Structure 1
Amino acid sequence: MGYYIDLGKITIDDYKTKLQSAYLPPSRMVLKEKLDERFEYFKNIGIKNVKELVQLLKKKEKFAELSKVECFSGDYLTILLRELKSILPKPNKIADFTEIAKDAISKLEKTGITNTQKLYDKVIKKSDRKNLADSTGIDDQEILQLTQLTDLSRIKWVGATYAQILYNLGADTVEKVTNSDPVDLHVRINQMIKEKNIFKGSIGLNDVKILIESAGELPLEIEY
């Protein structure tokens, strides 16, 4: 299956259903409006799945044409494309994980492994991780930590710092995040942010619900 969700396997109807019940930030609530009308239009022009929808919206001339259609007026298409792109988050740089030893980061970079997507295929199985530890000289436990941080990095909107917070809270895999209670995890995340002065402000409960929902959509391939 791989690092990302296979967008080609998500039908237009499935994605419409997802949006109906999805937790969305206020700035993206417009995506819940006119769902039947908008998605029926996409189907009528031959769009069958989310991969095809992303490809369509990325074409400037097609985007411009669609913007003139009445049901897509305003910023709807721009916001939809942002939401679709967030399904495939940009990989985190290994060097951005501040709790990983610089020596380990350097050893991985020498082999061409600079981000979580490049690391993913090399840590899926226990035997893969053993081979990577042997070939790089990185400690087995540190390889496991990097594996878990890589797993978490696949979740929408989870940057290196957020992945490290989840790891330190024990929600250290996609599966554990999926099975977390949102209220409990929300409280513990913000307690850690405050106690360790990680950054100013806090993470909202709705954001944690989005985190858990997004984690639940990811394939579970890593062997622990």
Structure 2
Amino acid sequence: MSYYLDFTVLGLDFLRTRLLGEDLIPSQLPLREGLTEKLRTLRTVGIKTVSDLNTILKKETSMKTLSKETGIQLDYLKLLARVLRGYTPKSVMLSDFPKVDTKVTNTLMGHGIRDSYSLWTAAAHVKTRTKLAKEMALPPTELCTIVCLSDLCRIQWVSPLFSRLIFDAGYKTVQDVASAHAEDLVVGVSTVNKKENLFKGKIGARDMGRLVYIASILPHELEL
């Protein structure tokens, strides 16, 4: 059971598949240049998993050493490091979710469950969620809603506010988003937003397509 992608079990082929298969934002496109050869070079210095690579790229000194050992430009490695950080978006505070019962979130936070990661970990399965609701005297339906919002925030670029729009449009989990068509998501979210006026930005099919792709590669472990 994993809130995030498990870098320890993902080989470098995962990076090749994602960087070539995802509709990258313009600033990330340079990562495709010589990608296969660069990954092959990384393997020659003992880097086998995304976790191995991420550990090195977290520190400036080890990143510079890797650049010298492999001949891969430092700017390329810095960009790759930023992209890897984006693969594990920060958990969000439960108090940041709109339109939820604050009594429920306050109770959860009072018991040390303060963010999306801790709630999802504690209540992603029906059995543990039911137990949590009984122990804290929480309404099961509202607790399930907040767990769903936490699940949706596992998708890169999905904010607490946007998770609410996706949820209210009928896509309650990461798996729901992964199974959706981008155009349908746009229509659903736009319709909800016209009523609720939560999101001020533009909602486009291309951005939704990115969310669908990311959702498709995340673990689908939330039980409803």
Q: Same fold (TM over 0.5)?
A: yes
Aligned to 1:211: 211
Relative to 1, partners in 2 of residues 1:182 and 1:125: Cα closer, same or farther, differing over 3 Å?
Answer: same
Matched AA of 1:109: M
**Structure 2 gap ranges (5+):** none
Q: Residues 86-140 of structure 1, C-alpha deviation per residue, up to 9 Å, x if partnerless?
A: 1111011100012111111110111000001111122122221121111112111
Aligned to 2:177: 177
Q: Residues 139-178 of structure 1, C-alpha deviation per residue, up to 9 Å, x if partnerless?
A: 1110110121111111112120111111110111111100
Number of aligned residues: 224
Instruction: Quote the Cα distance in structure 1 between the aligned partners of 2:116 and 2:126.
Output: 17
Instruction: Quote the Cα distance in structure 2 between the aligned partners of 1:201 and 1:110.
Output: 34
Matched AA of 1:219: P
Relative to 1, partners in 2 of residues 1:13 and 1:90: Cα closer, same or farther, differing over 3 Å?
Answer: same
Indicate the RMSD between aligned Cα atoms, in angstroms: 1.9
Aligned to 1:84: 84
Aligned to 1:124: 124
Aligned to 2:72: 72
Instruction: Quote the Cα distance in structure 2 between the aligned partners of 1:72 and 1:11.
Output: 19
Matched AA of 1:64: K
Task: Report if aligned partners of 1:8, 1:49 keep a CA contact under 8 Å in 2.
Answer: yes
Pair 1:93 & 2:93 matched: yes
Instruction: Quote the Cα distance in structure 2 between the aligned partners of 1:92 and 1:148.
Output: 13
Instruction: Quote the Cα distance in structure 2 between the aligned partners of 1:97 and 1:33.
Output: 39
Q: Report deviation, 1:16.
A: 1.2
After TM superposition, the score normalised by the length of structure 2 is 0.92
Aligned to 2:50: 50
Q: Which stretch shows the higher mean deviation, 7-16 or 87-96? A: 7-16
Instruction: Quote the Cα distance in structure 2 between the aligned partners of 1:204 and 1:46.
Output: 41
Instruction: Quote the Cα distance in structure 1 between the aligned partners of 2:95 and 2:32.
Output: 38
Q: Report deviation, 1:39.
A: 1.1
Relative to 1, partners in 2 of residues 1:71 and 1:190: Cα closer, same or farther, differing over 3 Å?
Answer: farther
Instruction: Quote the Cα distance in structure 1 between the aligned partners of 2:53 and 2:147.
Output: 31
Task: Report if aligned partners of 2:64, 2:74 keep a CA contact under 8 Å in 1.
Answer: no
Which runs of structure 2 are paired with 1:1-224 in the superposition (5 Å)?
A: 1-67=1-67, 72-73=72-73, 75-224=75-224
Runs of 4+ in structure 1 displaced over 6 angstroms?
A: none
Matched AA of 1:75: D
Matched AA of 1:105: T
Identity over aligned pairs, percent? 32
Relative to 1, partners in 2 of residues 1:88 and 1:107: Cα closer, same or farther, differing over 3 Å?
Answer: same
After TM superposition, the score normalised by the length of structure 1 is 0.92
Instruction: Quote the Cα distance in structure 2 between the aligned partners of 1:195 and 1:133.
Output: 31
